[in-house]
Structure 1
């Protein structure tokens, strides 16, 4: 049994992963963005008699982040993230800052707090949830994708840096989910149209872009999250983690081919 804290566990893949890990006997601190999400998870845990404890933890809030200092964790899964979208030529910079504040800066600050105890114990595992969008370009999703590009660098840098510690037993890895039918992609896509429909270089193409984006994701999204949840489990339970875990495999191969041919 490992003591695991996973952020952003109130919905989507994070929620599925938290439940799956607790079903395997791990003590899971399944933190959520809202109290209502935590109540639902605790209710599920009680009903199924699972070792899961859920509570609100807003990773952008320093007081909330400090909760982790008393937990002596074996595994931190940096799953919490927000999305945004729109033309990078004109998006309000505050929107972009908000995405990076959550997905990058607050994630680093939480990781640093957990690492203090892990370095003291010389044991632990840090898992960053990136995205296949952190490895390839998709127009008008740059506000979200660029934050995941940043996490790719952060995770790999931290991995190499910790290896410079003597007898280091702290492992760092990434999970790169592709497109799953959780509603996150659609919510992310629609954000751009709240302002681009009123004033944008692309105002006359709004309906076309909306159809294009939604049709694309409706074609590639995988309905079941089981394949990516399996990667969460592998990353947590492997004695020696890989640099990255990817699912769906077919989407990972597609992105790899795009990288090879320079797209």
Structure 2
């Protein structure tokens, strides 16, 4: 059955590919993006593919932009819009850290609240939070993003229990490291403020950690998985992909119970 799916932050990355993939399957896709130039770019790309997407600017931090959500009726809400920035947690500038929480946690929850109210009124609907393997694992110098995604895991698991009796489903999607440019931009960001003369974190340790980004997965596979799962009426609370990532997440979670300091 075809659904109407609202997916935030659809101007780039996995969400853009997923928006196109869902539209190809015949679903009606509402695909807001963060900036005005992204509106033009996404509309043009959709037209070139012969696909119909409802595209408009919706910066989730902007209350006027958010009000637009009230104008739409939809079956599934995908809270995808997010920013990413790396750096050592002991030294990351607090303004940078706060900005990540502002987008990835506070504004994301605000969008989910709007969707929740709509779904409770209807007695049905599904909220999908785009989490990450970072919602469970901890990777050095990816701490700011990791903290926000741990928060999203707590939000999603709690809302799942709270909204169940209202007929509203809640789930997470947790991708591994995919080569969309999102992770690479995050790794670059810390070098803007890091200064060897001031900070105690060793430059070589961060540079070594960045090398892990050389082996990221092909986004096409994750997009296929998202296109498959998002419209489903029933599936696991947490969708992790690929399988190696799920294995790694489970192993790290188990290790923490026996970890000593």
Q: Same fold (TM over 0.5)?
A: yes
Match of 2:249 in 1: 255
> Which residue in the other structure is 2:169 paired with?
171
- Match of 2:225? 231
How far residue 146 of structure 1 moved from its aligned partner, in angstroms, is: 0.4
Could you tell me which runs of 5 or more consecutive residues in structure 1 were left unpaired when the two chains were aligned.
Answer: none
**Displacement, 1:46?**
2.0
| 1:148-181 deviation per Cα after TM superposition (whole angstroms, max 9, x unaligned) | 0000010010001112x3xx32111000011011
Residue 39 of structure 2 corresponds to residue 38 of structure 1? yes
Task: Please say which of residues 236-245 and 149-158 is displaced more in the overlay.
Answer: 236-245
* Equivalent of 1:211 in 185, 207, 211: 207
Counterpart of 2:237 in structure 1 is 243
Q: Secondary structure in 2 aligned to 1:261? A: helix
SS at match of 2:128: strand
Q: CA deviation at 1:252?
A: 1.7
Equivalent residue number for residue 99 of structure 1: 100
Deviations 1:59-80 (A, max 9, x none): 0001111101110111110111
What displacement does 1:5 show? 1.1
The answer to whether the 8 Å contact 1:7/1:31 transfers is: yes
User: Match of 1:155?
Assistant: 156
After superposition, residues 15-164 of structure 1 pair within 5 angstroms as 15-163=16-164
Contact 1:228 1:246 in 2 (8 A): no
1:120 CA drift (Å):
0.7
Asked whether the equivalents of residues 76 and 231 of structure 2 are also in contact (C-alpha less than 8 Å), the reply is: no
Q: Which residue of 1 aligns with 2:13?
A: 12
How far apart, CA to CA, are the structure 1 residues paired with 2:235 and 2:126?
9
1:200 is displaced (CA, Å) by 0.9
Render the CA deviation track for 1:54-101: whole Å, top value 9, x for unaligned.
111100001111101110111110111001121211222111111001
Tell me whether 84-93 or 132-141 shows the greater mean CA deviation.
84-93
- Cα distance in 2 for residues equivalent to 1:235 and 1:174: 10
Q: Once the 2 structures are TM-superposed, how far is the Cα of residue 115 of structure 1 from its aligned partner?
A: 1.6
Contact 1:25 1:51 in 2 (8 A): no
Q: Normalising by the residue count of structure 2, what TM-score does the alignment of the two structures yield?
A: 0.93
More displaced 10-residue stretch of structure 1: 113-122 or 146-155? 113-122
Q: Aligned pair count? A: 255
Q: Distance in 1 between matches of 2:223 and 2:246?
A: 15
Whole-angstrom distance in 1 between the partners of 2:154 and 2:225 = 20
1:231 offset after TM fit, Å?
A: 2.7
Cα root mean square deviation, aligned: 1.4
Which SS does the other structure have where 1:126 is aligned?
Answer: strand
Give the SS at the match of 1:186: helix
For the Cα contact (< 8 Å) 1:10–1:37, is it kept in 2?
Answer: yes
Q: d(CA) in 2 for partners of 1:45 and 1:141?
A: 33
Structure 1 Cα separation of the partners of residues 231 and 141 of structure 2: 36
For 1:227 and 1:217, how far apart are their aligned partners in 2? 17
